[in-house]
């Protein structure tokens, strides 16, 4: 009887794991960003969603909010100002650790590059750009600088013209300073499981974990 119950529990766990892996393979992660800047207001919204679960950050002049979404509806709302509030001076002083030199981070990047390359390759293969739209009106203090930036933007625009998902338009203004416009980005990370696999594979390697621990300050510094 006990063996039957244990077998049933293991079977249920196996089915759940299989379902999760299948969902990670079939259900894409959707990333979208909408930003607007005018003389009257500036606001931005960034959303990350996987299936019916997601998170959204809304930033306006009067509020910075983090929301946890379920089926597109916020179920948890937190004030980003409260989350990012700095620690009290006494506690901050106690927890402060000497910063590692920049060379240490460069050495860590070199040591971890084989694993990073696999992860980046998986991310690149999984990315699918749906929409990238921008409409900006720009005027700098120097008309010459405005012209230079406009020239670069025009060159990039024509270079990307064959890509239907990309459309960026810049309108130069030479007689006064201004920055207004809208920006829209929507992309998918398809087959998230194919990104998780190299990440988990790298973290299972003891040298990788030790190097990450050293860089994060939790381990002994390398010689």
Edge-first strand listing for the sheet containing 73-79: 73-79, 64-70, 53-59, 42-50, 29-37, 178-189, 127-139, 166-172
Helix (H) or strand (E) holding 211, with range, is helix 206-216
Q: How many CB atoms lie within 10 A of CB 58?
A: 17
* Helix (H) / strand (E) containing 53: strand 53-59
DSSP for 135-184, written as a single string? EEEEE-SSHHHHHHHHHHHHHHHHHTTT-TTEEEEEEE-SSS-EEEEEEE
Contact between 126 and 194 under an 8 Å Cβ cutoff? The reply is yes
pLDDT in tens, 151-181: 988 888 777 766 778 888 889 999 889 999 9
Write out the H or E segment, with its range, that includes residue 54: strand 53-59
- Please, which pLDDT band fits residue 33 given cuts at 50, 70 and 90? very high
Give the C-alpha separation, 193 to 20, whole Å: 10
- Over 90: is that where the pLDDT of 27 sits? yes
- According to DSSP, residue 13 is labeled H
Q: What is the structure's pLDDT at 138?
A: 92
pLDDT band at 68 (very low <50, low <70, confident <90, very high): very high
Confidence (pLDDT) at 90:
58
pLDDT tens digits, one per residue of 94-138 = 455 566 677 777 888 888 899 999 999 999 999 998 998 989 999
pLDDT confidence of residue 55? 95
- Single pTM value for the model: 0.74
- Over residues 171-198, the mean pLDDT reads 92
Predicted confidence at residue 57, as pLDDT, reads 93
pLDDT band at 223 (very low <50, low <70, confident <90, very high): very low
Q: Is the pLDDT of residue 4 over 90?
A: no
What's the CA gap between 92 and 195, in Å, rounded?
35
| Cβ contact 184:120 at 8 Å | no
How many Cα atoms within 13 Å fall on the side-chain side of residue 163? 15
Q: Which residues have C-beta within 8 Å of that of residue 42, sequence separation ≥ 6? A: 36, 60, 61
Compute the mean pLDDT over every residue in the chain, rounded to the nearest whole number.
85
SS (H, E, C) 56-101: EEEECCCCEEEEEEECCEEEEEEEHHHHCCCCCHHHHHHHCCCCCC
pLDDT of res. 193: 93
């Amino acid at each position: 009887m006990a063996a039957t119950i244990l077998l049933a529990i293991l079977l249920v766990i196996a089915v759940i794991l299989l379902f999760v892996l299948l969902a990670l393979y079939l259900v894409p992660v959707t990333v979208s960003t909408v930003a607007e800047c005018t003389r009257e207001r500036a606001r931005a919204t960034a959303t990350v969603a996987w299936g019916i679960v997601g998170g959204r950050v809304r930033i306006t002049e009067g509020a910075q909010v983090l929301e946890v979404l379920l089926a597109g509806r916020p179920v948890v709302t937190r004030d980003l100002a409260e989350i990012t509030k700095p620690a009290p001076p006494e506690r901050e002083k106690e927890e402060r650790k000497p910063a590692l030199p920049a060379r240490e981070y460069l050495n860590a990047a070199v040591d971890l590059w084989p694993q990073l390359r696999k992860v980046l390759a998986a991310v690149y293969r999984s990315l699918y750009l749906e929409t990238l739209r921008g409409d900006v009106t720009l005027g700098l203090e120097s008309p010459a600088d405005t012209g230079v930036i406009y020239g670069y933007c025009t060159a990039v625009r024509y270079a990307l013209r064959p890509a239907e998902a990309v459309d960026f338009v810049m309108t130069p203004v030479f007689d006064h300073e201004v920055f207004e416009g809208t920006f829209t980005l929507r992309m998918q990370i398809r087959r998230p499981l194919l990104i998780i696999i190299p990440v988990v594979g790298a973290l299972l390697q003891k040298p990788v974990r030790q190097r990450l621990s050293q860089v994060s300050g939790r381990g002994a510094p390398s010689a």
